[in-house]
Amino acid sequence: MQVAPESAASDKIAVNRERAERRRAVARTVRDHRERLTSTTGTSPSFDHELLVHYARTRLSAAYAVPLLVALVGLVATVWLPQLVIVVWAVVTLLVHCAGTWLCHVFVKTPADRLSIRAWTRRFVVSEFCYGLTWIGLLLATATVQAPGIETFQFATMLTMLAVGTMFASSLPAGAVAGTAPIALTMVALFAIRQDVLYLALAFLSIGSEIFFLTLSQRLQSTTMGMMRYRAEKDHLIAELGTAKAVSDESRRRAEEANLAKSRFLATMSHELRTPLNAILGFSEVMKNEVLGPMQNPTYKEYAGDIHTSGQHLLALINEILDLSRIEAGRYELNEEPVTLAHVVEDCENLVRLKARNKNLKLVQLIEPDLPRVWADERAVRQVVLNLLSNAIKFTPPGGEIEIRAGWTAGGGQYVSVRDNGPGISEDELPIVMSAFGQGAIAIKSAEQGAGLGLPIVQAMMKMHDGTFELRSRLREGTEAICCFPRSRVMDPLPPVIQESAHQPERRRRTG
């Protein structure tokens, strides 16, 4: 009966988490499709802008390399062409290049919200086309020359421009086609006109080179797009993590405020509850013991005994709640001193012996001799042992046996163990009984009084002593609770101090 609510709560949390993930996935899919529908290239509009920015920055980075290339090609072309033709071509090419560079500079400086992706894409494509036309002019000028080696110059110039154009415009596929395809088609036409096997082979090589460089440009664009997607996913994930962290911080703050309010409430109500409880306990005890005279009605005497018992149970419950709240709030202070575990175990056994005898239980005490003292809070250690003994007596059936052990651990520490042969606890219920206000199925069926705070208090107090608490149990075999104190809290006995008499130094000096 206790497991069902917790399993239902965990299932509900899992279902809510799954629904939230499904909603995020649907929202992400809808956003991607909406962006693709409003895009000019079938990708996200933000990717379109980033691709154009990448193209513009690539062009700007090569602003000083293109004039060097023009100067080099013009210098080589002086072997076949007049210098005036070369100078006119170079000036026109550089002017077109400067115009394209200026467009890229304006695009980079313009804010993204004031840009029209379609308009700027057309401008860049036209700029690439015009730039390609300038190189076509050089090729047409060399076509009128009949000199050895001119075909090699033309083919090398074409390959250079195809490679440079596709590399610079890799993030703008339309620009790469507009800038390089006319050059390749011009060379194909020039080679095909000559009707020679060598020139036909060069024409086919020109077509193959154009296809190869355009494919390479597409691959470069795909790589750039993949990097942008990964970066967008990373940014989205960082944003989600930031939101989740903000929600987590807010939830933690609220939880801390609620915990502080709970601690203040319990601290305030402790006096308000204990004062009337002490009066109830005192007056009910007077009535039960007939201190002021005998009661005429025996039922009233029985009622007074029930009131006293219920008051004691309520006072113990309030004390446990206050102890646990102080431990959780970090306000439980240990008054540490040398403590002998054997004496604490014997005192606690004497306190519960009458209760065990009334239930026909056998208490067996096995304590190793000559145990040194440990550095601990004696009140906390007594509460730990009493809680374990009370649980064992509460859930052990009549005629059972409870074994109390104290001795050395393998690591040099000391332990206290309480073992019974009661009904035991299943493995699934162990986390429940170790949690605050948690009770197993045996406790619920037997209707034993208790709030489920004994074991959590034991675990918390052992943690404050740097120790460990372990609960071992199997159904129909019994339960064993083991508390271990670390080696650092065991106080080694000091050797006796040998005091020399006042006459021994004088005898030593005389002998010397």
Strands 362-367 and 401-408: parallel
> Does the structure show a pLDDT above 90 at 321?
no
Mean pLDDT across the chain: 80
Q: Assess contact for 324 and 453: CB atoms under 8 A.
A: yes
Which residues are within 8 A (CB) of 113 and not within 5 positions of it... i.e. 6 or more apart? none
Mean pLDDT of 462-474: 89
Mean pLDDT of 241-266: 81
C-alpha span between 456 and 460 (Å, rounded): 6
pLDDT greater than 90 at residue 96: yes
Mark 167-182 as b/e (b = at least 16 C-beta within 10 Å).
Answer: ebbbbbbebbbbbbbb
CA distances from 494 to 372, 485, 491, 497 (A): 11, 20, 9, 9
Strand partners, 365: 404
With cut-offs at 50, 70 and 90, classify the pLDDT of residue 272: confident
Entry pTM = 0.47
Helix, strand, coil shares of the chain as percentages rounded to 5? 70, 10, 20
Extents of the domains making up the chain: 1-28, 29-241, 258-328, 336-489
- Lowest-confidence segment of 146-160, 331-345, 495-509 by average pLDDT: 495-509
Q: Please tell me which residue, 489 or 492, carries the higher pLDDT value.
A: 489
Selected residue with higher pLDDT from 129 and 499:
129
- The first and second tokens of residue 34, run together, are 């909406």
246/413 Cα distance (integer angstroms): 44
- The pLDDT score that the predictor gives to residue 95 is 94
pLDDT of residue 262: 72
**What per-residue confidence (pLDDT) applies to 68?**
92
What end-to-end distance do the CA atoms of the chain give, in Å?
87
Angle between helices 65-77 and 150-168 (to 10 degrees): 170
Q: What share of the chain has pLDDT > 70, as a percent?
A: 81
CA–CA distance, 53 with 45 (Å, rounded to integer): 12
Higher pLDDT among residues 227 and 17, named by residue: 227
* Confidence band for 510, pLDDT divided at 50, 70 and 90: very low
Return the minimum-mean-pLDDT range out of 196-205, 476-485, 491-500.
491-500
- pLDDT at residue 8 above 80? no
Q: Which tens digits make up the pLDDT trace of 185-239? A: 998 888 888 878 888 888 888 899 889 888 888 888 888 778 877 777 788 788 8
Q: Which residues of 463-501 are buried (b: 16+ CB within 10 A; e: fewer)?
A: ebbebbbebebeeeebbbbbbbbbeebbeeeeeeeeeee
pLDDT tens-digit series, residues 147-172: 888 888 888 988 888 888 888 888 88
DSSP codes joined into one string, 463-499: HHTT-EEEEEEETTTEEEEEEEE-GGGB-PPPPPPPP
Q: What is the mean pLDDT of residues 441-450?
A: 53
| pLDDT, position 172 | 86
Of 137-141, 262-266, 488-492, the least confident: 262-266
pLDDT (average), residues 66-79: 90
How far apart CA 450 and CA 313 sit, in angstroms, is 8
Q: What is the pLDDT of residues 455-467, one digit of tens each?
A: 888 888 888 888 9
State which amino acid sits at residue 161: M
User: Which pLDDT score, from 0 to 100, does residue 4 have?
Assistant: 42
pLDDT score of 31: 54
- What is the pLDDT, as a whole number, of residue 220? 83
Q: Which fold has domain 336-489?
A: Heat Shock Protein 90 (3.30.565)
Instruction: Give 414's strand partners.
Output: 408, 485
Alpha-carbon span 427 to 472, nearest angstrom: 9
